[in-house]
Structure 1
Amino acid sequence: MEKMSSQKECLVEENEHLDKKDLRRRDFLKFTGAGVASLALLGVTGCKKDRHDEDMGADGFYFGSGDIAILNYAYALEQLEAAFYIQVVNSPYSGISDLEKTYLTDIRDHEVAHREFFKKALGGKAISNLEFNLSGINFSSRESVLSTAKTFEDLGVSAYNGAGWLIKDVNYLALAGKIVSVEARHAALIRDLIDNGSFANMEVIDSNGLDVAKSPTMVLQAASPFIKSKIDVKDLPTY
């Protein structure tokens, strides 16, 4: 009886520890998201001009060139992630726990904040709202949703890592660095939900212990099945 009582006490203590750990993780996610949301409200360019809708040419929505093209590239990816997580939260998968729904809701809020941040920063040079094809995702399946979330988050981190050195304006670079750190935390959390302890493996960390980086060309090729709108990236810096 004493042994059973001791085991029960240990289990209670462990559960309390996990609850506190989950709470700290959630609070941190909210904190980092709030920071980006604040940046979105402040804006980068200070431009209050409404975004025009004349960016759709014969070749699709034109991203522009130089830093503007890179920002629109990031904006397009954030639009995709926001659209995905909005759908996830609006129609939760079967058997979702309250804690998982809370995590995914927090991530949704971050991605929406990121999307609005780039829209504000780009002002009149922002591309229009893109249309996405999410029909291949089974939103009622935990495996399908988390697998897609893992794909998007890993792709997002590698996209920022790969585009960082192409950005000329140091202010844009600093802000991109703040956003990619949040995306990396999303990626780690999603991986942990799928397989506890898998937040950093050789799929996303190279032999030098660094995050994998992908060129804009590679990222857009990977994202293309989900992007329904036609886009024109002929002047987007890449390698």
Structure 2
Amino acid sequence: MKNLEKQEQELLQEERSVFTAPLQRRSFLQFAGAGAAGVALVAAGCKKDRGDLMTSTGVTLDFKDDFGILNYAYALEQLEAAFYVQVVKTPYASMPANELALLTDIRDHEVAHREFFKNALSTAAIGSLEVNFSKIDFSSRASVLGTAKAFEDLGVSAYNGAGKMIKSVDYLLLAGKIVSVEARHAALIRDLLENGTFANTEVVAASTGLDTSRTPAAVLAIAGGFIKTEVKAINL
């Protein structure tokens, strides 16, 4: 981790929002170069135009193919990235230095995930979503961490629920790598709220030892409360 005082100064001096700043090409390739799957996704994305995904009122996620599922993941990563960017930009009252460092790490991961999907999907990507965080009190630790817990748990359950719908084994591998990071985030946030709750029965079934999963319809119904852009799902 960076020296925290230096990190705080850098955050104060930022002139460009992390929300709109793209990853450097090298960083993106390191993330996507996780193998040929990343290159294949970029190449395939260029063959599909996103015009049929955008409407005058919002965004349509067409689950008839892998692109719909990947755009679904991209939409959720946009939401999470926007949330953590705001958390780090306006830390809650008396935020401890260690919590700022941890939340900054999570922000960087979520921005990397968002930019990965945006760059990899290319012209097949949906547009930027407008978020609605009016329900969140960013000055309150309880509100911020409670929302973080909800978002992380939702993200893990979303990947778990959509995994079976992915046809390409390469894309499934990439989704698995991302959901494992999201699960680490969820465990950390849970322990910041209450030590030892990282894998309680709210998220892991005692009888099977398996994490929870949600269908895209259920996930979008929950996430919709924090997204201004209308998100429609078809061919579920």
**TM-score normalised by the chain length of structure 1:** 0.79
CA distance in 1: counterparts of 2:30 and 2:58, whole angstroms? 32
Equivalent residue for 1:129?
A: 128
Deviations 1:158-194, CA, capped at 9 Å, x for gaps: 0001110110000000000000000000000000000
5+ unaligned residues in a row in structure 2: which ranges? 1-25
Kindly report the root-mean-square deviation, in angstroms, between the aligned alpha carbons of the 2 structures: 2.3
CA distance in 2: counterparts of 1:87 and 1:124, whole angstroms? 27
Moved more, 49-58 or 226-235: 49-58
CA positional deviation for 1:95: 1.1
CA positional deviation for 1:232: 2.5
CA positional deviation for 1:38: 2.1
Q: Note the 1:1-239 alignment, pairs <5 A.
A: 38-40=30-32, 43-44=38-39, 45-47=41-43, 49=46, 54=51, 55-58=53-56, 60-64=58-62, 65-206=64-205, 207-235=207-235, 237=236
CA positional deviation for 1:234: 1.2
5+ unaligned residues in a row in structure 1: which ranges? 1-33
For 1:179, what is the secondary structure of its paired residue? helix
Percentage of pairs with the same residue: 58
CA distance in 2: counterparts of 1:51 and 1:167, whole angstroms? 17
For 2:188, what is the secondary structure of its paired residue? helix
Aligned length: 203
CA distance in 2: counterparts of 1:161 and 1:190, whole angstroms? 19
**TM-score normalised by the chain length of structure 2:** 0.80
CA positional deviation for 1:83: 0.2
Aligned residue identity for 2:84: Y
CA distance in 2: counterparts of 1:227 and 1:168, whole angstroms? 28
CA contact (8 A) 1:88 1:139 kept: yes
